[in-house]
Structure 1
Amino acid sequence: MIRRPVMGRPHRLGGEHLLVSLLVLYVSFTTLWPLARLFSAAFQPGEDGTPLGLMLTTLASRSALRALSGTLQTALLSVAVSTVIGVALAFAVSLLKLRTRAALTFLILIPLIVPSQTMALAWIELFGAQSPILKPLGLAPPPGSTNPLYSTGGIALVMGIEHMPLVFIAVRAALRALPADLVEAARILGISPGRIGLRIVLPIVMPSVLAGSLIAFAAAIGNFGVPALLGIPGRISVLTTLIYQRLNGFGPAAAGQVATLALVLAAMAALTIVLRNIVTTRIAVPLPAGTPFVPTRRAPVIEFLLWIVVLILSLVPLAALTMTALLPAIGVAFGPDTISLDQFRAVLDNPTVRRAFANSLLLAVITAAISMLVAVPLAFLSQRRTNPVLRLLDFVIEGPWVVPGTVVALGMILAFLKPLPLIGLSLYGTMAILVIAYLSRFLPLVLRPVAAAAQSADPALDEAARITGAGLNRRILSIFLPGVLPAAAAGAILVVMTALNELTLSTLLWSSGKETIGVMIFALQYEGNSTGAAAVAVLSTLLVLSLAGGATLIGSSMPKGTLPWLE
């Protein structure tokens, strides 16, 4: 009786070793191999055999320098917008007693939930000469004039609002951990609320402000949807759009050049994440343990003003987009006699659009399902073992989510353009390459909630099952899975919400018959069919928001922080 578990242990450990090996193969195929091909393409010698000649020639070109300058300008300006708005909203929502706090929080996060290209299109319709909202008010640009958003400032404004929730989330998390004693002591001393916020609270949460700003910067340099829809018409070049244009114009022949540009993006993103980690680990102010601060001061006037600001940032652009989709054509004034569902009927009758919705749904569901199957055993092993291979896997898995999507897509092209060994088939131009790219990109969205839920699980249950001789599969399926299933389901919903309207990967990897929703919105707008693009964007946004509502319904059973809009 005593020796049986000991005798069975090598077999059980062998099962865990096999599972680790399978996970290593999975991550190597979906992530390591594409990134390795990207590096090898960028570090090719020049035409004259000079080491790193291709990289040096590409980086010295005027187009690359112009795109790099445009990337830095738009990203830095957008971070300024994100930081100012995000910090102000976080302070108001966290330090004031608001009756509508939950609703305000959800609306503040709308720019992060709604896809990048949809928000860009919404702002285009809001500020255009034919704006259904600004034109009746006499605030729209003159007819025939260029949309003011087709500029560096316009790109920075829209990206800044889109990434503002990243700063908001980081600062609000710090404010929610603020000790109540600290604020109460300041009040007893007679310090005004304004000075408490600026002189006491802001310095304490400044590391979180910096961390959120750095995340916003990383998101900005990798953003494709906004620079593509605003920058290409305005002749504003950034690295993501330059990569897209080079691949569209020269195809795989430009692989080495675009790989170099992609590595520049990856290096900038990696440096940003390193700086963020330094800020959070070395600069952050340790707060004394105590009762978290609970706001008691009501401010109905400020709450009213908050609603105005949040509605302008989140819903007014979407309202302009919806109103545009209800018009029969651009240039027609919006009114009761011109409202029509013709554009919705037209896009739904379009077989290409229907195929795009079907493809996106299929890709999103497959990605979510496979990511759950991978995340659950990986979280199980990571929480119970100190295997260095697992720690390395965890680091590698974060890579495709941290680096810009353009980098991931280019790695996929280089890895799967040629026929695969043994089977002799090329995945380029097939749905399979999109599936692999999505799996590589979105696995962290499932893994993080599952890992958070696994940390709160009681390890004694697994140890008891191990002692009684339960096999690895039984321990995972019967003991570990029930405890993390709500978190895994929440992560899967986040994957579906994100993948449904994905644009960056799809734009570089799609082929005829493999269109996605994001590609269709971009293509319709690029062709000048703004009302059709608006209709598709509205339908896709309604789909995403319905998924967000479904996730909210099961939010009480999820780990805290899984859904950022929940209290």
Structure 2
Amino acid sequence: MTLLARAGAAARRPLTWLAAAVLAVLIVLVALPLLGLVRATLADGDAWVDVVASPLSGAVLWSPLAGSLFVGLGTGILATVLGAFLAWVVVMSDVPGRRAIGALAAIPFALPSFAIALAWESVFRNDRIGGSPGLLVALGVPVPDWLAWGPVPIVLTLVAHYFSLSFVVIAAALAGVGGDLVAAAELTGASRLRVASRIVIPAVAPAVLSGFLLAFAEGASNFAVPALLGLPVRFQTLSTRLYGAISTGDEARGYVLSILLVVVAGVILFAGNRVTRGRSFSTITGKATRARVTRMGAWRWPLGAAAWLLVIATAILPGIVLAASTLLRRTNRLDGGLTLHYWVGESDPAVSQGMRGILRDPTFLSALGGTVGLGVAVAVGAVTIGALAAYVVRHRPRARRTNAAIGLLSYVPFLIPGVALGAAFIAQFGAPVGPFGSLYGTFWIIALAGVAASLPFAFQAASAAFGQVSVELDEAAVLSGASRVRRFGRITVPLVSRGLANGGVLVFVTMVRDLSVVVLLVTPATPLLSMMTFRYASEGFAQQANAITLVIAVISVGATLLARRLADRRPDGRIDRSST
């Protein structure tokens, strides 16, 4: 058969057209925005020179880059240490209440990163930049500048948010270390230290590195926390600097900084992959065994107290502080009495410049509907595209080039920090393209950017779901004469629906609490809760900002618990209690 004949035969297959459609969508959502970003920087011939090699470079690039690297490194190291400690406590120790500790340890990542930053500000804010000081200053406790503002509180609040990432990754790795291996080593007379250094640590080394790299990349590219705790004292990172450039009309330099931020994140993750490539860390044998629990003896209660203190300080106290601050009539002052005005109060010129409580504010209600609508739209869009991409890759194993292109385009957004991705969409869709008008200022540009940002997770979740469905089921249906559409609807969809629903809920949570992706795209015509929080906090309306943050936290945590319930549900509809 000639090449032309083979091409014609392939074109008549429905999967070929589906693969082409998926690839086209990925090109529009991922490749074109990045190309538009590069093209926009080249249109201004001086932009790269101004950013990289001019008298302005120190303030525009090198100082923010140093800030990003410091924040990323501090976040990565501390988050990995704390996450590894909690993972070991939950999986391999006999500390009391370790299952509850594990459940609470996952909550901080479900919260918006700015929730912990606002809680920190409510407690530690001093009078360096004016405004109402925090609770400690109000109680007469002096708070030094380095603890109230700048890199130290930024790192600490990001660690409180991202250590959950390291915990989840490392805990999963520790659970895979067979107890039979540890028991066999102990029978040979190996000490606990030798077992840990020769078996346990090498086994979880890739997970520890992955947790560090994820926390490093997320910390270095985070926007919300450095903006709230750094910008008031002119501490800049690449994310805040490119936001300032684009929001003040200096788009070309902002786009250059966006590309450099993408490069930094890509180099970090590539270096981590190179470290573990070609090395074997296998400890899983053919016989399934539980992780071996270490008896801690006298250390059982002190370690338990440390673990409980950590999860209470990061998962429970921020919510209590935020909730209490919304009830104080005077910002962060206990002597002004309590009030529900910031929740349900009518307009009063004597309180908060006449602003109504958020539940009576039409802008808040509009932003609430827009946020939930955005989360649903992005979840449906990302999971649909991810599921179709995973289905195509699984059922066209010989189309290696197409599958490689789909996999690459589905993974690339993981390397793009949220602010940089928002800048890429402005560069590509912020002006009319052919017969299509500008999308800037509309709901659709935010939704498309959210779908693009969520593609890596949606594709991986869908790939895992489809990977659990045996091809033998499909082959049996083929023998019975069922069409591909019927096989997909009657066999594949019911079997993968739980995994896809779980992935969709987690995508929804990410979008509801995300600020980085949307901060450059939101306009007054498209209000969102995360942007309202950022604006209120920046303008000094702490109670309103904290109240809206609590609403976001309730939605995020509620959806996360739903996802956990879906993950634990067995095919017969009952809940699998063994994993909780």
Instruction: Tell me the TM-score normalised to structure 1 length.
Output: 0.88
Question: Counterparts of 1:12 and 1:468 in 2: how far apart (Å)?
Answer: 25
User: Does residue 363 of structure 1 match 2:360?
Assistant: no
Residue identity in the other structure for 2:262? A
Question: Counterparts of 2:525 and 2:43 in 1: how far apart (Å)?
Answer: 34
User: Does residue 257 of structure 1 match 2:285?
Assistant: no
**Counterparts of residues 159-558 of structure 1 (less than 5 Å):** 159-188=158-187, 193=192, 196-197=195-196, 200-250=199-249, 254-287=250-283, 289=285, 290=287, 291-295=289-293, 297=295, 299-333=300-334, 338-345=337-344, 346-386=357-397, 387=399, 388-423=401-436, 425-557=437-569
Deviations 1:346-365 (A, max 9, x none): 01111111111111111111
Percent identity for Structure 1 against Structure 2: 26
1:95 paired residue number:
92
Judged with a 3 Å threshold, the aligned counterparts in structure 2 of structure 1 residues 224 and 558 are, in CA distance, closer, same or farther, namely farther
Asked if the contact 1:12/1:471 (under 8 Å) is kept, the reply is: no
Question: Counterparts of 1:310 and 1:173 in 2: how far apart (Å)?
Answer: 18
By how many angstroms is 1:498 displaced? 1.1
Judged with a 3 Å threshold, the aligned counterparts in structure 2 of structure 1 residues 72 and 338 are, in CA distance, closer, same or farther, namely same
By how many angstroms is 1:19 displaced? 0.9
Asked if the contact 1:243/1:258 (under 8 Å) is kept, the reply is: yes
Asked if the contact 2:222/2:239 (under 8 Å) is kept, the reply is: yes
SS in 2 for 1:507: coil
Question: Counterparts of 1:269 and 1:27 in 2: how far apart (Å)?
Answer: 21
Question: Counterparts of 2:308 and 2:327 in 1: how far apart (Å)?
Answer: 26
Asked if the contact 1:44/1:54 (under 8 Å) is kept, the reply is: no
Judged with a 3 Å threshold, the aligned counterparts in structure 2 of structure 1 residues 325 and 472 are, in CA distance, closer, same or farther, namely same
Judged with a 3 Å threshold, the aligned counterparts in structure 2 of structure 1 residues 338 and 55 are, in CA distance, closer, same or farther, namely closer
Question: Counterparts of 1:148 and 1:234 in 2: how far apart (Å)?
Answer: 12
By how many angstroms is 1:179 displaced? 2.6
2:350 paired residue number:
none
Deviations 1:373-432 (A, max 9, x none): 222222222222222212211221122233201111011001012112123x11111111
Asked if the contact 2:513/2:530 (under 8 Å) is kept, the reply is: yes
By how many angstroms is 1:491 displaced? 0.9
Asked if the contact 1:78/1:157 (under 8 Å) is kept, the reply is: yes
Asked if the contact 2:95/2:303 (under 8 Å) is kept, the reply is: no
SS in 2 for 1:237: coil
Question: Counterparts of 2:483 and 2:252 in 1: how far apart (Å)?
Answer: 49
Question: Counterparts of 2:483 and 2:120 in 1: how far apart (Å)?
Answer: 55
1:6 paired residue number:
none
Question: Counterparts of 1:528 and 1:228 in 2: how far apart (Å)?
Answer: 14
By how many angstroms is 1:553 displaced? 2.5
Residue identity in the other structure for 2:120? W
Residue identity in the other structure for 1:75? G
By how many angstroms is 1:196 displaced? 4.2
Asked if the contact 1:501/1:516 (under 8 Å) is kept, the reply is: no
Residue identity in the other structure for 1:275? A
Residue identity in the other structure for 1:308? L
Unaligned runs of 5+ in 1: 1-8
Deviations 1:319-377 (A, max 9, x none): 2111111212214307xx93332212201111111111111111111111222322222
Asked if the contact 1:125/1:317 (under 8 Å) is kept, the reply is: no
Asked if the contact 1:343/1:535 (under 8 Å) is kept, the reply is: yes
1:3 paired residue number:
none
2:349 paired residue number:
none
By how many angstroms is 1:192 displaced? 5.2
By how many angstroms is 1:296 displaced? 5.4
Residue identity in the other structure for 1:122? A
Asked if the contact 2:410/2:459 (under 8 Å) is kept, the reply is: no
Asked if the contact 2:221/2:417 (under 8 Å) is kept, the reply is: yes
Q: Aligned match of 1:114 in 107, 111, 114?
A: 111
Q: Aligned match of 1:105 in 98, 102, 105?
A: 102
1:38 paired residue number:
37
Question: Counterparts of 2:55 and 2:370 in 1: how far apart (Å)?
Answer: 37
By how many angstroms is 1:197 displaced? 3.6
Question: Counterparts of 1:58 and 1:513 in 2: how far apart (Å)?
Answer: 38
Residue identity in the other structure for 2:432? P
Q: What value does the CA root-mean-square deviation take over the aligned residues?
A: 2.8
Question: Counterparts of 2:55 and 2:361 in 1: how far apart (Å)?
Answer: 43
Judged with a 3 Å threshold, the aligned counterparts in structure 2 of structure 1 residues 126 and 186 are, in CA distance, closer, same or farther, namely farther
SS in 2 for 1:470: coil
Of the structure 1 ranges 204-213 and 347-356, higher mean CA displacement relative to structure 2 is found in: 204-213
Judged with a 3 Å threshold, the aligned counterparts in structure 2 of structure 1 residues 483 and 133 are, in CA distance, closer, same or farther, namely farther
Q: Aligned match of 1:77 in 74, 78, 86?
A: 74
Of the structure 1 ranges 184-193 and 27-36, higher mean CA displacement relative to structure 2 is found in: 184-193
By how many angstroms is 1:58 displaced? 6.7
Asked if the contact 2:329/2:338 (under 8 Å) is kept, the reply is: yes
Residue identity in the other structure for 1:174? A
Question: Counterparts of 1:44 and 1:526 in 2: how far apart (Å)?
Answer: 33
Residue identity in the other structure for 2:306? L
Judged with a 3 Å threshold, the aligned counterparts in structure 2 of structure 1 residues 92 and 58 are, in CA distance, closer, same or farther, namely farther
Judged with a 3 Å threshold, the aligned counterparts in structure 2 of structure 1 residues 494 and 274 are, in CA distance, closer, same or farther, namely same
Question: Counterparts of 1:39 and 1:466 in 2: how far apart (Å)?
Answer: 47
By how many angstroms is 1:147 displaced? 7.5
Instruction: Tell me the TM-score normalised to structure 2 length.
Output: 0.87
Asked if the contact 2:533/2:549 (under 8 Å) is kept, the reply is: yes
By how many angstroms is 1:467 displaced? 4.6
How many correspondences in the alignment?
543
By how many angstroms is 1:451 displaced? 1.3
User: Does residue 68 of structure 1 match 2:80?
Assistant: no
Give 4+ residue runs of structure 1 displaced > 6 Å after superposition: 130-133
